[in-house]
Every structure is written in C-alpha cells, then in structure tokens.
Amino acid sequence: MSRFLSPAKICLILLIDVYFNHEAKASDTIHLLSFISKHILRRNGNSKTSEDQSQAPQITSLNQFQTLLTPLTSNLPGRSLYDVYLRYLWGLTSFEQLDHLFEKSRTPDPESTSRCLPISSSSPFGQYLRRCQLEFVRLQFSDAQQLWEDFLIFRESSWSAWAARNPDEAESRDSGGISMDDLVSPILLDRQQKRRADGHQVLPSQDLLDRTIQFQLEQIQGTGCRLPSEMQDRLADMIQHASSRPADVHFINFFNSWRSGAYSEAIDNLHRYFDYAMESYGSHQTIKTYHQYALLHLAVLHADFGSYEEAISAMDECIATARENQDSRCLNFGLSWLLHLRRAHPEYIKHERLLHSTAFAGSDSDILFFLQQKALESKDWTQLSSTLLSQAESVVQSGQSVAKALDYSYQSHHLNSKYALHGLQPTQVRLHGSLFSQIGLFSLAQLQGETFATIFERKATRPEALSMQCVQAYQLACRGNYEGAMEKLMKNDPSSYRTLRMHNLHFGFANMIRNEIAASERLVPKIKPLRNMAEPDVAFETHVLEIEYLQKANKSQVALEKIEELFREFKTDPGSSYIHRIRLLIIKANLWAHVGKPTKGFSIALRAANAGYMRCLLPYLCQGVAALAAILIELEEYEAARRLLDSVIPKALETADIFLSARLYSLLTDTLVGQATKDHTKGSKDFDQLLNSAQVYLERAKEGFDKVQDLDGTLACLQKKALLFRFRGEEALAEEMEEMYDAEVGEVRRREREMRGVEG
C-alpha cells in the first residue's frame, strides 16, 4: 500500500483526462466536475456541513464511476461516457504507459495541449495531478510495480463491459488487460492469480486509510458507541494490507474494549496507543501533551469501571499537567469532569488527598466561576454553554430557586441556537424537561422528552439517548403504563447497552405498586449495585424502592433505620440533593402515620410541605400536604385537613401524577366522612350531602388506583365503599364490594404462591 496513490486515484486521473479532452458534452460537465471535486478536494474542518460530518470518506470503486458515467452521453454517437472512459481505462496495457500517464500530468504534450482544455498549476486539478506525479516519483520501484498490479486487479470488474465494446482487442488480452502477444513474465501472472484468490478488491492508500480511521474516531467519540462489527472487519482488512499500522487503531481498540466491558484489555490498548503515538511524534512537547491526554482517558476509564479513587488520582495529575502545559482545553474538560464526579459520587471525595487535590482544584463554585471566566475570555461558546448547564444543575441540587436554574438553562439554549452548538442541545433539552418535571409542569416535561426523541436524539451520545429513554419510561411507569415503559426499554438490547439494572428498577417499581412482595423481594438485591454505578437520582430511587418494600413487608422498624441512615449520609455530604431530602421527609412522615404514630410525623410533614412551597416544587408540595392531611385525619382534625386538600388538589391535577391525585381524593373522602359523622346528625341534609360527595371522590380515587395498578389503594377504596354502603343501609351493594375485595385478595395470594413456587 502506497502512502497516497491507489488504483482509485489512477482512475480519477483518467477521468480528468476524459474531461480535458472534451469527451463529455457541455451539458454533462457539471456532473463530471462535481464527482471529481468531491474526491480530490479536502474541506476545512471548520467549514464542514452536517452532511459532510455524517458521511465517511468512501473508497472509490469502479461501480461509482459506472453509476456516474453510464447516464451521461459522449461526443461519439451511440457511446455513453462510460464506454469512452473504459477506453482510457483499458488503454493502459503496461507499466511503461502508467509511468507515461504520470509524466504527462506534469509536462503535457504540446500537440495535445492545443486541442485540450488548459490545466493551471494553481488550480485544484493541477495541484492534485502534481501531487500524484510527485508521489509516484517518490515510490520505490517495487512499490510502483505493486501499485500497477493493484490497478490491474482493481479494473477487472469492468472487463466484460469493455470486451463487449472492443471484441477484437479483448481476444489478444487476458482479463487483467495484459497483451498475450507480449512476453509476459510468468511471475507476474502467478502473483496476479494469487491476488485474485486473496479476494481483496478494495485497495486504499495509506492517506485514505488514515482519513477513514480519523472519521471513525470522530464517530465513536461523538456518539459514545462501539464501532459496528461490519466496520471493524472492514477496517481490519484494510489495515492488514497497509504498509504501516496507524497508532489511532489502538485507540479504536481501546474504545471498543472499554464499551464492551473488557477493563484490562482497555487499559492495555490505551497504554499501547500512547506508546505508539509518542514514538511516532517524538518531540518533548508532544510527549508532554500526549501524557496529559493519556491521564485524562485513564481517569474516565477508571471511573466507568467503578475505580473512583484511581480515577480521581489520575484526573488530579491530568489537571496539574494541563496547567503546566497551559492547555486550556484539557484543563477545562478535566475540571468539568471532576466537578461531575464530585456530584455523582461525593463519598469518594472524602478519600481524595485534600492538600494535593481538592485544594488544588478548588471548590465546586470556584471551578464553575473559573470555567465561565475562561470561556468568556477565549469566546469558547461550547465551554460556556456547558458551564451554564452545570450551574443550573448546581442550583437545583443546592435547593435554590428553580427559576434561577431555568434562567441558566435558557442562556445555554440561546448560545446553542446562536452558535449552532448541536452537541449540547440534547443535554439542554433533557435538563429543561427535568426542571419542568420538578415544578409540576408534567405536560411540558413530556413535550421536552418527545422533542428530544424526535429532533435531538440523533445528535446525542448513546448514553445520553439511553438516559432520556429511561426517563420517558419512568414517566410512563408513574402513570401506570408499565407495559409502555417496558416496551420503550426493550427497544434497546439490555445486554448491549447495559440497561439491565434499569429494567430491574422498573420491574421492582411495578411489582411494589401491584403488591407482589415475592417478586419485589427477588428484585431488590438486583438493583442495589446501581447505587455504586448509576447517577445520584437513580441511586436514590433504589433506596426509595427498598424502603417501600420494607414497609409493605411489615418491616417498618428496619425501614425507619434505613431512613435515619440516609439522613446521616445527607448530613455528612453537603453536596447531597435538596430534593432527595424533601422526598425522604415525606416518606418518613407517611411511615409514622402507617405505624399508627401520626403525631411524630406532624412536624416532619410540615417541614416537607414548607420546603416544597418555598422552592416552588409543586409535586413535593402536594405530597407534603397529603402527608400532613393524613396526619390531621388521624388526629380527627377533619376541617383543617379538608381545607388543605381543597387548596392543593387543583394543583396536583396539573402535575398529571395519577397516584398522587388518587391519594388526595381518598384522603378527601376520609375528611368528608369524618365531618359528616362528627359535626352532623344522621339523616340531615348536610350529612347526606357530605356522604354523596365522599362517594363521588372515592370513585375517582379508585379509578386512579386502578389505572396505576396500586393494589393497596384499590383494596382500601373497596373497603371504604363497603362501609359507606352499609352505613347508608345498602347491604346488597356492600356485599358486592366485599366480594370484589375478596376476589382481589385471592388473586394477589394466587400470584404470590406462583412467585414463591418459581422462586423455590
């Protein structure tokens, strides 16, 4: 394989000859010039269009020439331009003529120049021909002969088309185009036969191989995916015939090993890549640059496989080296990544060497301020937009106003739109949807998810797209559409994209709602590993699921101990999420009411509701009010509970949280019945009106619990209905409700026995 020349480039030179010899009609020259320019001109990286970036540098084959030239007509009657091109292609019958072709491109024949279009040495065509001639002169004779033999094999696919048009000339040649009348070397024929048997038809140059590898690197780094197996085989075949093995191949192997979960192999390939890279670019400054990027990749690799202490150590050294080399790009990325790791896994920061690392990198606010100032100074809009998104996340996590986080998000959106920062648009849309969900605008949050899936998913990295799909599946699960949630998750192979634990999390959530304790007991241990590997929000969901399992399994004391343990962790971790603390307060208040000690949860529920109100977190305000109302009902403060519920139910309906709305309706039923029996005499108008209203709201609550398949809520509604009907003297309806209750309980016990049998 030569450094630049290939059989395809020889075919392009012949196509240029076809154009300059006026073989094509004037109306077809645009198609001809467009094809040639596409393959000889290199666009600047700053001026690439989205279409250019989405297409790999294709290796030119004769099929492409045929597709282009067959519809075009030539100046010869009855002949297409492809027929004329084959005449030029098969006109090369010896290595001497190939040498003459390159020599002619440097010094054209005066006679032919007078009747052909002139070629300026400064034109793109002239520069291309001059470089081809220069590269051919630099070739060793053995390499030039190898190029000629590759060309003979490359053009064999057009033998039948040329022989059909030129039968007389075809009789005196073999399928390689060599004249049988000449004294042909048996060695050449034998080597040709072996190369035909090799089956390697596409023979790129080293230059095209390097461009292909660079393109594949851009794709795998941009999308976060492994190289497809078909492309891996094709690339390996190309490298096998290359004169030298590019160092970037080892980086591709590193990325494939990393994404496939081969930790040791990934480290070996990473070391091998930087060893070869420093050997190829051996200057002292280059070695220092490669060292810091080696540390950067090593830190990310360690973190992805759960070795966070090693990751922090490697990233600290990377930041120090980047500051020493004044590499702002590497420094900014290292600081951003360290900030992300501190938020995602704060427990490992305690093991950080404080004097060497934390004091060196600075606090989270210092890092964000530094990144923002550097981005403004250098007008690095990508870094500035990313920093604004990080500030928005920091605002929400620290419990500040969501309006401030939305302000940062809108600023990032403005930069993304103004400067076409397509890579950050998916992240901004995902964050925007999360903020809408936190303030209770569920319809807008769902719209952001649909926008992401429709418009921005192809621009997002694979992990980001998977994360958004998991969020959408979780939204469906919260609305009771468990089948739709599983269907969305199953669109991605869990073994390939490592979403198996997310499947278990959704299964556990569904089983808990359905009161399938045996299945939940089996799934809870399977989702615990998520706490060490997943994002903080997902890890917290596993804790919530475990607490709910303990509560339903009548292990309330263990659940309270679990809650206290989480509170102790939050106290020692100043970077813990404020929303997680509010949710834990609500869970604790509900648990005290569940065990029959509502007074202990009163102040806790009041704190949770107040925190949700002060931070405009509508869903958590509604949940806190629901917990507070349940406690007031236990204390027989029906009037106060009713006023709270009447004020919060309209807001809760806006959140589209069906379970929350059903619970509020159920609590409102309790307050109405309590008021009727406590403040009014039986048979009075107000008494009957309150009971009628209670029955209406109870039916709404049951519909909501049925929709989300909450068995406990459904059974409670049936039990309350039976009591209401019996209290009003409607025994037939009361017995019907009891039968429905017994049927539901029997179905649960049957499923429980089946699950126990499977488990056993």
725 falls within a domain:
yes
HSE-CB at 349 with a 13 A cutoff on CA atoms is: 20
Q: Is residue 48 pLDDT above 80, yes or no?
A: no
Residue 171 identity: E
Could you tell me if residue 732 is inside a domain?
Answer: yes
Please indicate whether residue 603 or residue 232 has the higher confidence score (pLDDT).
Answer: 603
User: Which tokens sit at 98?
Assistant: 């190939």
Mean local confidence (pLDDT), 444-450 = 88
Among residues 503, 559, 523, 547, the alpha carbon closest in space to that of 755 is found at 523
Residue 694 lies inside a defined structural domain of this protein: yes
Pick from 76, 97, 75, 83: nearest CA to 10: 97
The DSSP call for residue 245 is -
- pLDDT of res. 587: 92
- Whether 64 has a pLDDT exceeding 90, the answer reads no
Average confidence (pLDDT) over 652-658: 85
Q: What is the pLDDT of residues 606-638, one digit of tens each?
A: 999 999 988 888 899 999 999 999 999 988 899
Give the pLDDT score at 197: 60
User: How far apart, in Å, are the Cα atoms of 729 and each of 31, 286, 377, 671, 691?
Assistant: 89, 90, 79, 21, 13
DSSP secondary structure letters along 83-138: HHHHHHHTT--SHHHHHHHHHHHHS--HHHHHHS----TTSHHHHHHHHHHHHHHH
Share of residues in the chain with pLDDT > 90 (%): 12
Predicted TM-score (pTM) of the model is 0.66
420, 423, 427, 429: CA torsion to nearest 10: 40
Burial (Cβ within 10 Å: 0-12, 13-18, ≥19) of residue 272: middle
Mean pLDDT value across residues 523-529: 71
Burial class from Cβ neighbours inside 10 Å (0-12, 13-18, 19+) for residue 252 reads buried
> Which position has the higher pLDDT, 76 or 418?
418
pLDDT of residue 607: 93
Place of tokens 């140059």: 205
Task: Please name the residues in contact with 147: beta carbons below 8 A apart, sequence gap of 6 or more.
Answer: 2, 5, 6, 7, 10, 98, 136, 139
Burial 95-116 (b: 16+ CB within 10 A, else e): beebeebbeebeeeeeeeeeee
Three-class HEC string of 602-642: HHHHHHHHHHHHHCCCHHHHHHHHHHHHHHHHHCCCHHHHH
Distance CA 540, CA 668 (A): 30
Count of C-beta atoms within a 10 Å radius of residue 747: 11
Q: Are 428 and 386 in contact (CB under 8 A)?
A: no
The letter for the amino acid at 462 is R
Q: How confident is the model at residue 365 (pLDDT cuts 50, 70, 90)?
A: confident
Question: Residue 382: enclosing H or E segment and its boundaries?
Answer: helix 381-397
Q: Can you give the pLDDT at residue 53?
A: 43
Helices 658-679, 685-707: crossing angle, 10 deg rounding: 160
Are residues 658 and 650 in contact, defined by beta-carbon separation less than 8 angstroms?
no
- pLDDT for residue 358: 44
Among 137, 154, 189, residue at a domain's last position: 189
Tokens 């990934």 locate to 266
Question: Does position 507 have pLDDT exceeding 60, yes or no?
Answer: no
Give mean pLDDT, residues 181-205: 57
> Containing domain of residue 110, as a range?
7-42+53-189
* Residue 616 near residue 439 (C-beta atoms within 8 A): yes
Domain end, chosen from 169, 189, 209, is at 189
Q: Which pLDDT score is estimated for 570? A: 84
Residue 503 lies in a domain: no
Please state, in angstroms and rounded to a whole number, the distance separating the CA atoms of residues 102 and 110. Answer: 16
Tens-place pLDDT, residues 385-430: 989 998 898 888 887 888 899 999 999 999 999 998 888 888 899 8
pLDDT at 646: 93
Cα–Cα distance, 514 to 44 (Å, whole number)? 59
Q: Are residues 341 and 311 in contact, defined by beta-carbon separation less than 8 angstroms?
A: yes
Residue 58: CB partners within 8 Å, gap ≥ 6? Answer: 64
Say how far apart CA 349 and CA 742 lie, in whole Å.
54
Which pLDDT band, with edges at 50, 70 and 90, does 518 fall under? low
Q: Band the pLDDT of 362: cuts 50, 70, 90.
A: low
In a domain? residue 395: no
Four-residue CA torsion sign, 394, 397, 399, 404: positive
Helices (H) and strands (E) in the chain, counts: 41, 0
Model confidence at 759, pLDDT cuts 50, 70, 90, reads very low
Q: State the Cα–Cα distance between residues 620 and 285, nearest whole angstrom.
A: 55
Q: What is the mean pLDDT of residues 503-515?
A: 55
State which amino acid sits at residue 518: A
Judging by beta carbons within 10 Å of its beta carbon (0-12, 13-18, 19+), is residue 470 exposed, middle or buried? buried
* AA identity, residue 600: K
3-state secondary structure of 24: strand
Domains identified in the chain, total number: 2
Residues 6+ apart with CB under 8 A from 572: none
Of 462, 458, 427, the C-alpha closest to 50 is 458
In a domain, 571, yes or no: no
Which of 165-174, 281-290, 590-599 is predicted least confidently? 281-290
Q: Can you give the pLDDT at residue 348? A: 64
Nearest to 1 by CA among 209, 212, 152: 209
C-alpha 556/C-alpha 547 separation (Å) is 9
Confidence of residue 519 (pLDDT cuts 50, 70, 90): low
pLDDT tens figures, 555-570: 889 999 999 998 988 8
Average pLDDT, the chain: 79
Give Cβ neighbours of residue 461 (< 8 Å, ≥ 6 apart).
222, 223, 224, 426
Provide the pLDDT confidence category of residue 59 given band limits of 50, 70 and 90.
low
* Spatial distance between the Cα atoms of 614 and 626, rounded to a whole number of angstroms: 17
Nearest in space to 308 (alpha carbons), one of 575, 499, 532, 542: 532
> Does pLDDT of 674 surpass 70?
yes
Lowest mean pLDDT segment, chosen from 107-116, 269-278, 327-336: 107-116
- DSSP track, 424-478: THHHHHHHHHHHHHHTT-HHHHHHHHHHIIIIIGGGS-HHHHHHHHHHHHHHHHH
Question: Contact, 62 vs 49, CB < 8 A?
Answer: no
Q: How far apart are CA 719 and CA 712, in angstroms?
A: 11
The single-letter code of the amino acid at 169 is E
Rounded-to-integer distance, Cα 683 and Cα 689, Å = 10
Mean pLDDT for 427-438 is 88
Which of 159, 189, 219 is at the close of a domain?
189
The pLDDT value given to residue 43: 54
> Which CATH number fits the domain that encloses residue 662?
1.25.40
pLDDT, position 361: 55
Query: Is the distance from CB of 405 to CB of 433 less than 8 angstroms?
Result: no
719 found inside a domain: yes
Q: How far apart (Å, rounded) are the C-alpha atoms in residues 609 and 657?
A: 17
Residue 283: which region, alpha, beta or left (left: phi > 0; alpha: psi -120 to 50)?
Answer: beta
The mean per-residue pLDDT over the stretch 737-754 comes to 82
The Cα–Cα gap between 397 and 339 comes to: 13
**The pLDDT value given to residue 96:** 84
Tens digit of each residue's pLDDT (9 = 90 or more) over 482-498: 788 778 777 765 544 55
> How far is 97 from 468, CA to CA, in rounded Å?
60
Confidence class for position 56, pLDDT limits 50, 70, 90? very low
Considering only residues 606 and 441, tell me which one the structure prediction assigns the higher pLDDT: 606
Task: Determine the 3-state secondary structure of 74 from DSSP.
Answer: strand
Identify the residue with better confidence: 667 or 478: 667
Per-residue pLDDT at 263: 82
Is 262 part of a structural domain of the chain? no
